[in-house]
Amino acid sequence: MTTPAAPLLAKLERALEDAEISVPFPSAALEELSRREQDPGLAAPNLADLSAVPFVTIDGETSKDLDQALYVEEKRGGFRVHYAIADTSHFVPKGGALFAAALSRGASFYLPHASVPMLPRRLSEGVVSLNEGVPRRAVVFVSELDADGNVQDTIVRRAHVRSRKKLSFPGVQRFYDGDAALRGSPFERSLRALEAVGQALVARAEAREVVRYRRHEVRTEISRDGTRLEAVAAARLDVELYNEQLSLLCNREGARILYERKGAPSVQPIYRVHPAPLEARLSAFAAQTQAIARAHGRDPAIFAWEGPAGPRTLAAFVAGLPRDDDRVTRAIMRQAILVNARSSFSVEPSAHFGVGADIYARFSAPMREIVGVFSHHELVELLAGLGQEKEAIFADEKLRVDVVDAANRSKQTQRKLNDLVSRLVLDAIFADDASAPAGARPVRKGTVVGLTGAKVHVELDDPPVDVKLYLYDLGKALGGAWLAASPDGATLLRDKGKAQVLRVGDEIAVTVDRHDPKTDRWVLVPVGMR
């Protein structure tokens, strides 16, 4: 990874300071870590010996904190999925200094040049990480699935495992695409079974009306010279989707196991909840979609919310959109995404609309989320049949509230970091553009994806970033025109609604005019509009 130049590094470090993210760990946490390193607990008598199972990890090419390993068997009538998760709860006990340090962060945080880990790297990349060829502790989910991906049974146990190989997403995808490098390996059949069960689980999700948005994945990278951040389009690989399905399976099953024992006083589950879109928002979206179709002279039936049998679900509507990915379809897809509410952590069980689960939790990333560490503790206590005194139960209930608060707060913090990174990307783009003479500045094409309040939202083609045109600036560029969005949010109107200026789904070309120091924003103006 390229090292950021000093000015860019200073901006990224200030972002961490503004978010009050502490990089160093307290000395007490590091002392506890040293003790854990000396005794990783591999000889514990309660560990099942699964060292003969040919687990592999599949992750990013540069990942070092390997918290999941898998082995899949295809058998008559279905699959057996072995999913090993790093036994972080053993190394980070409740009430210890490491847990307190993790709780203060809530999660690991990510910037383009580096991450700020929730746990010390010596732990998350060392004795906890399911590294290749070394013995490790793990919490292993073994799920029996039928051919359609429906779970028949799941058992969970603490175990001793040994990953056979550290594989990467690109490497496994090349194998699926015909590359011979992994053929004949001890885990070839497991990788084939992963592909099959992944496809079955994807089909199951679609049958449960899980919405599959056609997203354009965008990754932020540091430029070769280290001076700027750049947005780069990135295709999502099939193997990433299959691996994700196993993670979702584990999280659903873990949540179910804890929920079914919710009456036990020593069990304090934390759930990941995601409410379905409000009917009022869906109705408004359906009306907006029809208005966009009419504005472009399209057949409204192509974008109709109503099907032959009545109103469609959001999943059915998105699946039925034209496959050509033109600008109108792209804009409607963006509006469909905006219909959703945000997910959050809660002590109360509820459905997770985004993954199509009646109940859902987070077990699969315990080195990166404090809620994962806590959930592992609760699951392990349940499996071991551990009883608790009233004082301990009360302490766990209080701690659970603190964990939920920390987890939700960390999500907000990461969003702030993402916003700052996006701003640095735009600064790099438009500072370069603005350095050219006014008549020679780059013209950037994009898609009008939304109209809100005083703004036109545009997704640029290259680089693939979102920008805003403010109606005040746009009106000035059009000779002082009065501008306002139509009530249905489909078109931008001028002259008291007498003329149409822009439609959601239009192609638009923009160039940078200047940086406004008062509002600290880049002023963009349209090209070729009157």
- Cα separation of the two ends of the chain: 45
Q: Is 496 left (phi over 0), alpha (psi -120 to 50) or beta?
A: left
Q: Report residue 51 as tokens.
A: 């060292």
Q: Which of 150-164, 227-241, 304-318, 426-440 has the lowest mean pLDDT?
A: 304-318
Question: Would you state the pLDDT for residue 307?
Answer: 66
Question: Would you state the pLDDT for residue 217?
Answer: 79
Which is it for strands 455-460 and 444-452: parallel, antiparallel or unpaired? antiparallel
Question: Looking at the chain, how many residues does it have?
Answer: 530
**What average pLDDT does the chain have?**
92
Question: Would you state the pLDDT for residue 175?
Answer: 96
CA 412 to chain centroid: 13
Question: Would you state the pLDDT for residue 530?
Answer: 65
Question: Mean pLDDT across the stretch 373-388?
Answer: 84
Q: Which of 119-133, 299-313, 391-405 has the lowest mean pLDDT?
A: 299-313
Among 363, 315, 334, residue whose Cα is nearest residue 208: 315
- Write the burial class of residue 23 (CB in 10 Å: 0-12 exposed, 13-18 middle, 19+ buried): exposed
In the structure, what pLDDT confidence band is assigned to residue 386 with cuts at 50, 70 and 90?
Answer: low
Measured CA to CA, the distance from residue 252 to residue 144 in angstroms comes to 14
Cβ–Cβ < 8 Å for 79, 72 = yes
409 has pLDDT over 70: yes
Residue 115 DSSP one-character state: E
Percent of the chain whose pLDDT exceeds 90: 74
Percent of the chain whose pLDDT exceeds 70: 97
pLDDT tens for residues 49-108? 999 999 999 999 989 999 999 999 999 999 999 999 999 999 999 999 999 999 999 999
Q: How many CB atoms lie under 10 A from the CB of residue 452? A: 11
Q: Which of 141-155, 301-315, 328-342 has the lowest mean pLDDT?
A: 301-315
Question: Would you state the pLDDT for residue 115?
Answer: 86
Collapse the DSSP code of 74 into the 3-class scheme (helix H, G, I; strand E, B; otherwise coil) and give the result: strand
In the structure, what pLDDT confidence band is assigned to residue 445 with cuts at 50, 70 and 90?
Answer: very high
Domains of the chain: 6-264 (no CATH), 431-526 (2.40.50.140)
Choice between 343 and 6, residue whose per-residue pLDDT is larger: 343
Question: Would you state the pLDDT for residue 290?
Answer: 93
CA 277 to chain centroid: 19
pLDDT tens for residues 12-52? 888 888 888 888 999 999 999 999 999 899 989 999 999 99
Question: Mean pLDDT across the stretch 428-439?
Answer: 93
In the structure, what pLDDT confidence band is assigned to residue 169 with cuts at 50, 70 and 90?
Answer: very high
Amino acid at 485: A
334 has pLDDT over 70: yes
Which is it for strands 507-516 and 499-503: parallel, antiparallel or unpaired? unpaired
pLDDT tens for residues 89-101? 999 999 999 999 9
Element (H, E) at 179: none
Question: Mean pLDDT across the stretch 275-286?
Answer: 93
Question: Would you state the pLDDT for residue 263?
Answer: 65
Among 218, 229, 217, 338, residue whose Cα is nearest residue 278: 338
Q: Report residue 259 as tokens.
A: 């929920």
Question: Would you state the pLDDT for residue 374?
Answer: 97
Cβ–Cβ < 8 Å for 491, 468 = no
Question: Would you state the pLDDT for residue 480?
Answer: 85
Question: Would you state the pLDDT for residue 1?
Answer: 62
pLDDT tens for residues 286-319? 999 999 999 999 888 888 887 666 678 899 899 8
Cβ–Cβ < 8 Å for 85, 250 = yes
Question: Would you state the pLDDT for residue 345?
Answer: 97
Rg value, the chain, Cα: 26
Measured CA to CA, the distance from residue 45 to residue 52 in angstroms comes to 17
Measured CA to CA, the distance from residue 232 to residue 428 in angstroms comes to 14
